[in-house]
A and B are shown apart, each in its own frame.
Chain A
């Protein structure tokens, strides 16, 4: 891969990222235009006692009275300058609101990813292709975690480990102890999906001729699983993990609400229930950005896992 190849690939990735962000911004803007009713009334809620003068002031302050064809370019112009505007409701810059809530959610998401991957690897390697009874039990548990709403998992975990056993605090961002239950709540359904996919992959790989070859060279069963089969099974795992990582923000909405944690999810819930448009748009853009970053990371991981992909940059 030459330097110009790399530059070309990077430029292409950047252009794609910009396109995704522009698309997200446009869709968010359009969606908010389509919400029925006067935006200020929607924002204030059905029984606001705000007087018509106050409503007019809010409308004027945010430029909501202008026609859409004027609002859209103005909005894009601000976005290009990195100005996400000011939250209607809390009167603070959207950027600083998001910045203030980002870290707790990143912590939560990373911890959840870590838990999910560790669980999935442990369960899949231990059960792939052997001991049918154990495998069946593992499958059942996975199915349960996948199909139980994460809200419910959170309440169950809280009831058991916080309210009864009193091992972890219910509450918020108070050190690592308070991170365990929320992260587990997010991780369990992910672990269930990942373990199933990983086991399928492992089992398929173990049936390949190279397994017999490796075994005949004297490698133990576990060594074959870890060193050979796992690499084959890892590609779908990475794809899926990337996809799930992108969706963590959605999961964070529920988890942060249940556990009373600060974070982007809680902010998202507040923004959408209050129709706080600049904040909603800011959060949509953040999700799009996370999606772009994760998919780039997944591409890079592919290259690391499968050497065959490295030889031909054009197929990337």
Chain B
């Protein structure tokens, strides 16, 4: 989903999902009873209060405006969507919409809505509410930073009757179902929109949705408090149970310091902690009263993106050498203590369309890298041992993000990469830049390398990465500045079909061409949402984004 600088670099770390849990809860077999975090079966306990510490605080709570992961992940508990994306297979299930039809040209989506859904202010959810929300998102006055992008070439919503809406687009728009499954395209009560409008960003009682929890209180800088929605009876099928949530109260605490969040978890002051630092994984797992849940984040993995619009990366051989000269396995393992898996391709394995064909194809091979650089003419050496050609040093500029945007120890991982490349004679310079300069350089294609990830549970993220119409200055993520007719065609083809097999085939070609044939980027690692929780916490599930959902969660002894 959306990302801001932080989230990008953070691998959009937004969320978290207990893998163990998913196995139990996503089978769709609700008769099996409740899966628990520990894997054992037990009767859920009603009531209780759970505190979940997250590492960032939403700037704006308005789901139609915000681009932050943290806003979406917290608001997931307050807002339902038209459809639910299955965290396992990536397919879509009914939620607020009981069924839907998509026109053959993928430009019109007709949704049939549930008629028993009420907003927590007592008003009814209907077709008019869908229209009011979507129209608000695309209204320029809303200044939507992310949701408007999710609506793509939206042209309007037509209310057929209270239980039927037709959403139309100017062009074929396959990613719409996935977009519609995100909290950013969730629904505010139209009464709340009328009453609060642009003040919805303030959160709290103005934040009225149809979800299992009611946003009842917010203390900026400290916490957001949700209480159970007693009328809730429209959970998606994937949920373990229907009816209201088990918990009486759910508190989100904002604790940005890792050591404080983990200390609070260890001492029992909170029951769930987001973003466990990889270095703490082992010691947390060793504690009998704690459990650690890990789930790979979907979307584009953390990669080095090579700017092909200028030397030296305008030369394919140099890009290939750069890929082969980085000891990704060793670097990722030592920096993240084995918590994250190394990546072979741009997509995370948790994303539909991921291909395994690239596994092991670009393994560390300094000899090969050296050979490629020799062939490319970088045969000289300067006094520091860096390669030269016609008197110029083989120099690569990879700016460091502003300090406050560096997360996940990317600066340390960068040092390891720098050291690897020095061995094959490539000099990597890492100037520290302020945000303004950083953005200007990146958008202008003035750096050689940029590094980011992009979380989204849909392979269309590859279009943002490799389609030539998606440079960073236009909100895309194509820092390669490469124009390839095949990549453009294929990533657009992906927009025109809903057939999973056809999409998988097209996106496998994109990955092969972009990463392997053209060496446009170096995938480094697949981020994982790491959650620490007390063993008292059961039924913790997460959605396709790896964001925790608390509808099925209950507290044992």
Interface of A with B (CB < 8 Å)? Answer: 35-38, 41-42, 44-54, 57-58, 61, 89-92, 97, 100-101, 104, 155, 158-159, 162-164, 166, 169-173, 256-263, 266-267, 270, 273-276
* CB atoms of B221 and A48 under 8 A apart: no
Query: What residues of chain A lie closer than 8 Å to B477, measured between beta carbons?
Result: 47
Residues of B within 8 A of A263 (CB): 221
User: B residues within 8 A CB of A37?
Assistant: 435-440
Q: Which residues of A contact B435 (CB under 8 A)?
A: 35, 37, 42, 45-46, 275
A49-B145, A260-B256 provided; 14 other pairs, C-beta below 8 A?
A35-B436, A44-B67, A45-B6, A47-B3, A48-B145, A48-B475, A51-B148, A92-B201, A101-B220, A162-B267, A163-B264, A170-B260, A171-B223, A260-B254
B202 with A47: CB separation less than 8 A: no
Given the interface pairs A35-B436, A170-B269, A267-B220, the reply to whether A46 lies near B405 with Cβ below 8 Å is yes
Contact A158 B263 (CB under 8 A): yes
Contacts of B146 in A (CB 8 A): 49-50
Residue from A47, A51, A169, A266 having most chain B Cβ neighbours under 10 A: A47
A273 surroundings in chain B (CB, below 8 A): 404
For the complex of A and B, the 8 pairs showing the least CB-CB separation, nearest first, are A37-B436, A45-B5, A36-B436, A262-B221, A266-B221, A172-B222, A163-B263, A45-B4
Residue on B with the closest CB to A35? Answer: B436
Q: Is B382 an interface residue (CB 8 A)?
A: no
Contact: A48 with B260, CB < 8 Å?
no
A266 to nearest B CB, angstroms?
Answer: 4
| B489 vs chain A, min Cβ distance (A) | 23
B438-451 toward A: CB 8 Å interface, digit per residue (1/0)? 11101100000000
A-B contact count (CB 8 A): 180
Digit string of B482-518 for contact with A (CB within 8 Å is 1, else 0)?
A: 0000000000000000000000000000000000000
> How long is the Cα–Cα vector from A159 to B258 in the complex, in angstroms?
13
Within B1-44, which residues are at the interface with A (CB < 8 Å)?
2-8
Cβ contacts under 8 Å, A52 to chain B: 474-475
Q: How many residues of chain B have a CB within 8 Å of chain A?
A: 64
From B57-65, B161-169, B522-530, give the one contacting chain A. B57-65
Which residues of the other chain, B, contact A166 by a CB distance below 8 angstroms?
267
Check if A42 sits within 8 Å of B143, measured CB to CB.
Answer: no
State whether the Cβ of B144 lies closer than 8 Å to any Cβ in chain A: yes
Which parts of B452-503 form the interface with A (CB within 8 Å)?
Answer: 452, 454, 464, 472, 474-477
The CB with the most chain A CB atoms within 10 A, among B221, B254, B452, is that of B221
Interface pair B67/A158, CB less than 8 Å apart: no
The one of B202, B260, B267 that contacts A260, using a Cβ cutoff of 8 Å: B260
Q: Are A47 and B264 in contact (CB under 8 A)?
A: no
Q: Which residue of B lies closest to A39 (CB)?
A: B436
Are B436's CB and A162's CB within 8 A? no
Contact A48 B67, CB 8 Å, known A42-B436, A53-B140: yes
- Chain B residue at minimal CB-CB distance from A97: B220
Residue on A with the closest CB to B434? Answer: A36
Q: Which of B62, B263, B452 contacts A47 (CB 8 A)?
A: B452
A171 and B145 contact, CB distance less than 8 A? no
Closest beta carbon of chain B to A106's beta carbon, Å: 14
Q: Is the CB of B199 within 8 A of A54?
A: no
Docked-complex contact A90 and B221, CB < 8 angstroms: no
- Cβ contacts under 8 Å, A90 to chain B: 59-60, 201-202
Q: Give the complex CA separation of A128 and B65 in angstroms.
A: 60
Asked if A49 and B440 make an inter-chain contact with CB atoms under 8 angstroms apart, the answer reads no
- Residues of the B chain whose Cβ atoms lie less than 8 Å from the Cβ of A51: 148-149, 474-475
Contact A57 B140 (CB under 8 A): yes
Q: Is the CB of A49 within 8 A of B264?
A: no
**Cβ contact within 8 Å between A92 and B440:** no
Contact B221 A162 (CB under 8 A): no
Complex-state Cα separation, A23 to B364, whole angstroms: 58
Task: Say yes or no for B383: interface residue by CB 8 A criterion.
Answer: no
Cα(A184)–Cα(B404), bound, Å? 26
A38 vs B260: C-alpha distance in the bound complex, in angstroms?
36
Bound Cα distance A260, B378 (Å): 53
Could you name 15 residue pairs across A and B whose Cβ atoms are closer than 8 Å?
A: A36-B436, A37-B438, A44-B67, A46-B439, A47-B5, A47-B454, A49-B67, A92-B199, A97-B220, A170-B267, A257-B256, A261-B222, A266-B220, A270-B57, A275-B435
Closest-by-CB residue of A relative to B440 is A37
Minimum Cβ distance to chain A for residue B144 (Å): 6
Residue among B60, B221, B464, B476 making CB contact with A91, cutoff 8 Å: B60
In the complex, which residues of chain B have a beta carbon less than 8 angstroms from the beta carbon of A53? 140
CB pair A162–B475 under 8 Å, yes or no, is: no
User: How many angstroms between the C-alpha atoms of A162 and B219 in the bound complex?
Assistant: 22
Residue contact A260 to B4, C-beta cutoff 8 Å: no
Q: Give the residue of B8, B62, B143 whose beta carbon is less than 8 angstroms from that of A46.
A: B8
Mask, B217-236, CB within 8 Å of A = 1, is: 00111110000000000000
B255: min CB distance to chain A, Å: 4
Residue B257 interfacial (CB < 8 Å): yes
B286 at interface (Cβ–Cβ under 8 A)?
no
- CB of B531 closer than 8 Å to a CB of A: no
Closest CB-CB distance, A235 to chain B, in whole Å? 37
Is B198 at the interface (CB under 8 A from chain A)? yes
In the complex the two chains form, is A44's CB within 8 Å of B145's CB? yes
Which of B57, B141, B198, B257 has the most chain A CB atoms closer than 10 A to its own CB? Answer: B257
In the bound complex, what is the Cα–Cα distance between A155 and B263 (angstroms)?
Answer: 10
Say whether B260 contacts A41, CB under 8 Å: no
Give bound CA distance, A261 to B220, whole Å. Answer: 9
Q: Knowing A47-B5, A49-B146, A92-B201 touch, does A260 contact B255 (C-beta < 8 A)?
A: yes
Return chain B residues, CB-CB under 8 Å to A158. Answer: 260, 263
Query: Which residues from A are CB-within-8-Å of B440?
Result: 36-38, 41
Q: Are B219 and A173 touching (Cβ within 8 A)?
A: yes
Which of the listed residues B62, B259, B267 has the most CB atoms from chain A within 10 Å of its own CB?
Answer: B267
Q: What B residues does A172 contact at CB under 8 A?
A: 219, 221-223, 253
A243 CB → nearest B CB, Å:
26
**What distance in Å separates the Cβ of A89 from its nearest Cβ neighbour in chain B?**
4
Bound: A258/B263 CA distance, A: 12
Tell me, in angstroms, the Cα distance from A92 to B59 when the chains sit together: 11
> Shortest CB–CB separation between residue B60 and chain A, in angstroms?
5
Interface centre among A257, A260, A262 (most CB of B within 10 A): A260
Give the residue name and chain of the B residue nearest to A43 (CB): B435
Q: Which of A35, A49, A100, A259 contacts B149 (CB 8 A)?
A: A49
The proximity string for B residues 253-286 relative to A, scoring 1 for CB distances below 8 Å and 0 otherwise, is 1111101100110110110000000000000000
Contact between chains at A91 and B198 (CB < 8 Å): yes
- Pairwise interchain contact A261-B269, C-beta atoms closer than 8 A: no
Q: What 1/0 mask marks residues of chain B from 185 to 226 whose CB sits below 8 Å from any chain A CB?
A: 000000000000011011000000000000000011111000
The smallest beta-carbon distance between A62 and chain B, in angstroms, is: 10
Interface presence of B533 (CB below 8 A): no
Is B221 in contact with A164, judged by CB distance below 8 angstroms?
Answer: no
Q: Is the CB of B263 within 8 A of A159?
A: yes
Interface flag for B401 (CB, 8 Å): yes
Residue of A whose beta carbon sits closest to that of B203? A90
Closest CB of chain A to B307's CB: distance in Å? 14
With a CB–CB cut-off of 8 A, which chain B residues contact A61? 143
Give the chain B neighbours of A267 by CB distance below 8 A: 220-221
In the complex, the answer to whether B144 meets A54 with C-beta atoms within 8 Å is yes
List chain A residues, Cβ under 8 A from B267. Answer: 162-164, 166, 170
